[in-house]
Chain A
C-alpha cells in the first residue's frame, strides 16, 4: 500500500470520500461498456430496434412492433440482467471480502442454490401464499446456516467452507429437482429457470423487484464499505480501529444473502457471476477493500454479455444464461484454484 493520502472528494465538511483514480477511471469505462452492451441487447437480432432508431424509440417515437420489443421482450430482460448482475457482483464482493477468500463466494458455497430451492418451493408449492423473494431469502439463509454448522468453525476455514458448500449445493439442487418434478413435471422451461437460471421471459415486475432491493441496500452498502475494508486487514486490527469484526461480518453476510436471494428470485441460481465479478473488479482497480461499485458494474456487464451471447451465438441460441455462466465461470474457477494453490493459500 502506498503511504500517500488518496485525493478526497469533499462536500462541505460533512462528506469526505477518498478517491481512487484508477477505480474512478474503470467506473467510467465500465459504464460506457454497459451502455454499449445495453444498446447491443436492444439492437441486435431479427427483432432488434436498429441503432439509428433506438434513441427515438426509447423517447416515445416507436412503431407498435418496436414498442412491443422494448416493452415486453428486450427491455425488461435487459433491466433485469443489469440489476441481477449488479446484485450478484455486490453479494460476491461482500462475501469474498469478509471471508478473505476469493472462493468464499455465494455461488461457490451453495447459497444461490439454496435460494433457488426456496424460490422453487415458494413459487410452485405455495403459490400466492409465500412471495417468491421471501422463499428465496429463507432458502439462502438456510443454506448459509447449514454451511456454517457443517464447517464447525464458522466461516473462517476456506477449505471446509467450500466442501460444505458443495454438499449443501447438491442437496439444494436435489430439493429443487424434487419440487419441480413433483409440481411442474412437464414444463422443461420451468426446470431450466429454477435449476440453471435464465433471463428469458422476464417482466417489469421482476425488474422492479431486483432494482428495489438494490436501491434499498445501497445506503447500507455505503455505510458498510469502510468497516468491510478494515475487516480485510484482520479481526484484531478491525476491532482496535473501532469496527467490530464480528458485527461487520454478520451485517455483510446478511446483506449478501439478501442481494443473492433477490437475484435468484428474479433470474434463478445463476452460477459464478458472484465469483468472477469481484475478482475481475479487484484486478482492474488494484484497490484493496471490497470494491463494491466496480464489482456491481462488472457483475452487470458480465451477466448482460452472457445473456447477449445466449441470445445471438449460433450454438448457444436460446440456452438459459446460467449454462453460459456455469461453463465460463467454471473454467475461471479452475484457473483461480490453481493460482491459489501456487500461492499456498488453500
Chain B
C-alpha cells in the first residue's frame, strides 16, 4: 500500500467538498432505507411521513423502518471507524474487525453468556461482547501482529484462524440449543432487522465513547503513521495513542456486533475508499469514515431488502459480497515482500 507516502497537504476546500458529498450520500441512503421494503413507498411518501403529513398507514410503515435505519447508521459508523483505527494502529491495510476475529470474539462471548444465563438485555450483551472482542483481537494481534516482513499477511491469517475456531464454537452452541438460539438465527450472520430502539439505546454509549476517542486520537494517529520515533519526537505518546486506539476500536466493534451481529468487510472497505478520497490525514479520514460507513451499511441493507423482496437478505451477507473484492484489491497492491 501507499503507507510510505507522506500525508498530503491539507486542502480545506476539497475536504469540505468531500464531507458535503458524503453527507448528501448518507442522506440519500437514509431516505432509501426508509423507503425500500416489503411495502415499497415513494420518497414523497417518506418525506410526508417525516413531516407528519402522511396518512397513518404509510406513516406506520415508514416508522417501522426507523430503528433499523438508526441502527444501520450507528453500526456502519462504528465498524468503519473501528477498521480505520485498526489499520492505523497495526499499520496494516488489511486490518478489519471482522477479519481479525474481533467480531467473532464478541459473538462467541455473547453466545456463551446466552447459553449459560439465558437471553439477556442488549446492554448486558454489550458488556459480554466487550471482553470477547478485546480478547480475540489481542490473540490475533499477539500471534500475527509483529511488524516484520510478512506482518501484513500474518495478522490476517491469525485473524482467520481465530475467526474459524470461534465461528465453529458459536455454530456448535447455537445448533445444539435451538430453543435458545432460534431468536438469534439472523443475528449470527449480521442483520439490522427486527431490532428496536432499545438496542440502539443500549449500544449508543459504547459507540459514542469510541467515536469521541477516535476524534481525539486523530492527531496522534497521524504522528504514529510516521513511525514510532518520529511520533515521539513530534510530542505524541505512541503507547498512549495505540492503546487508546485499541480501546476505541474494541468499543466500536463490540458495540456494533452486540447490536447487529458480526458484519465483516465494512471496516476494511470504507477506510480504503476514504483514503483514496481524502488522503492520509486522520483528521479528515475519521469524519469521512463516520459518514461513509453508515452509507455503505445502509445501502447494503437496502440491497438485501430489495433482492429477495418481500423477504430479505441479512446485511452481513451483502457486505461480505461487496466488501470481499476490496480484500482482493488490497492483495493485488501488496508489495512483493509482504
- Residues of A that sit less than 8 Å from B by CB: 103, 146, 150-152, 157, 159-160, 162-164, 166-168, 170-171, 173-175, 177-178, 181-182, 185, 188, 192, 196, 271-272, 315-320, 323-324, 326-327, 329-331, 333-334, 337-338, 341, 346
7 contacts between A and B (CB under 8 A): A152-B331, A160-B331, A160-B334, A163-B331, A167-B324, A334-B165, A337-B154
B231 → chain A, closest Cβ, in Å?
27
**B residues less than 8 Å from A146 (CB atoms):** 328
* Interchain CB contact under 8 A, A341 and B154: yes
- Given A319-B176, A330-B164, the answer on whether A178 and B328 have CB atoms closer than 8 Å is no
Interface string of B144-179 (1 = CB under 8 A from A): 100000101110111011101101110110011000
Closest to A174 in B: B320
Select one of B160, B172, B318, B323 contacting A327, CB under 8 A. Answer: B172
CA distance A176 to B175 in the complex (A): 19
Question: Interface segment, B44-52, B65-73, B245-253, B308-316?
Answer: B308-316
- Residues of B that sit less than 8 Å from A by CB: 94, 99, 143-144, 150, 152-154, 156-158, 160-162, 164-165, 167-169, 171-172, 175-176, 185, 189, 264-265, 307-308, 311, 313-314, 317-318, 320-321, 323-325, 327-328, 330-332, 334, 336, 338
* Interchain CB contact under 8 A, B318 and A174: yes
- Given A319-B175, A333-B164, the answer on whether A174 and B94 have CB atoms closer than 8 Å is no
Closest to A171 in B: B324
A240 → chain B, closest Cβ, in Å?
26
Closest to B156 in A: A163
CA distance A170 to B268 in the complex (A): 13
**B residues less than 8 Å from A150 (CB atoms):** 328, 331-332
* Interchain CB contact under 8 A, A174 and B324: yes
Secondary structure at the A interface, as helix, strand, loop or mixed, is: helix
**A residues less than 8 Å from B336 (CB atoms):** 157
CA distance A241 to B320 in the complex (A): 45
Extra pairs beyond A152-B332, A323-B172, A346-B157 (13, CB < 8 Å): A162-B156, A166-B156, A166-B160, A166-B327, A170-B327, A174-B321, A178-B313, A181-B314, A318-B175, A326-B168, A330-B168, A331-B161, A346-B153
**B residues less than 8 Å from A272 (CB atoms):** 164
Closest to A161 in B: B331
Select one of A192, A320, A334 contacting B158, CB under 8 A. Answer: A334
- Given A166-B327, A167-B325, the answer on whether A327 and B176 have CB atoms closer than 8 Å is no
* Interchain CB contact under 8 A, B317 and A177: yes
CA distance A177 to B311 in the complex (A): 14
Closest to A337 in B: B157
CA distance A168 to B327 in the complex (A): 9
Select one of B264, B313, B314 contacting A170, CB under 8 A. Answer: B264
CA distance A331 to B323 in the complex (A): 26
Which of A152, A167, A272, A346 counts the most chain B CB atoms within 10 A? A167
A194 → chain B, closest Cβ, in Å?
13
Select one of A159, A192, A346 contacting B175, CB under 8 A. Answer: A192
CA distance A3 to B264 in the complex (A): 52
CA distance A168 to B150 in the complex (A): 20
A133 → chain B, closest Cβ, in Å?
25
B311 → chain A, closest Cβ, in Å?
6
* Interchain CB contact under 8 A, B158 and A337: yes
A46 → chain B, closest Cβ, in Å?
18
Which of B143, B175, B308, B338 counts the most chain A CB atoms within 10 A? B175
CA distance A57 to B143 in the complex (A): 52
CA distance A280 to B314 in the complex (A): 38
A231 → chain B, closest Cβ, in Å?
22
CA distance A93 to B67 in the complex (A): 51
- Given A170-B320, A181-B311, the answer on whether A327 and B331 have CB atoms closer than 8 Å is no
A24 → chain B, closest Cβ, in Å?
35
**A residues less than 8 Å from B157 (CB atoms):** 103, 162-163, 337, 346
* Interchain CB contact under 8 A, B171 and A323: yes
- Given A160-B331, A163-B156, A337-B144, the answer on whether A182 and B308 have CB atoms closer than 8 Å is yes
Closest to B327 in A: A167
Select one of B143, B264, B334, B338 contacting A337, CB under 8 A. Answer: B143
- Given A166-B156, A326-B167, A337-B154, the answer on whether A177 and B327 have CB atoms closer than 8 Å is no
* Interchain CB contact under 8 A, B153 and A162: yes
* Interchain CB contact under 8 A, B327 and A159: no
* Interchain CB contact under 8 A, A330 and B154: no
* Interchain CB contact under 8 A, B165 and A330: yes
* Interchain CB contact under 8 A, A334 and B161: yes
Closest to A182 in B: B308
**A residues less than 8 Å from B318 (CB atoms):** 174
* Interchain CB contact under 8 A, B311 and A323: no
**B residues less than 8 Å from A271 (CB atoms):** 164
- Given A171-B324, A182-B308, the answer on whether A159 and B150 have CB atoms closer than 8 Å is yes
Select one of A157, A162, A315, A323 contacting B168, CB under 8 A. Answer: A323
Select one of B162, B185, B308, B331 contacting A151, CB under 8 A. Answer: B331
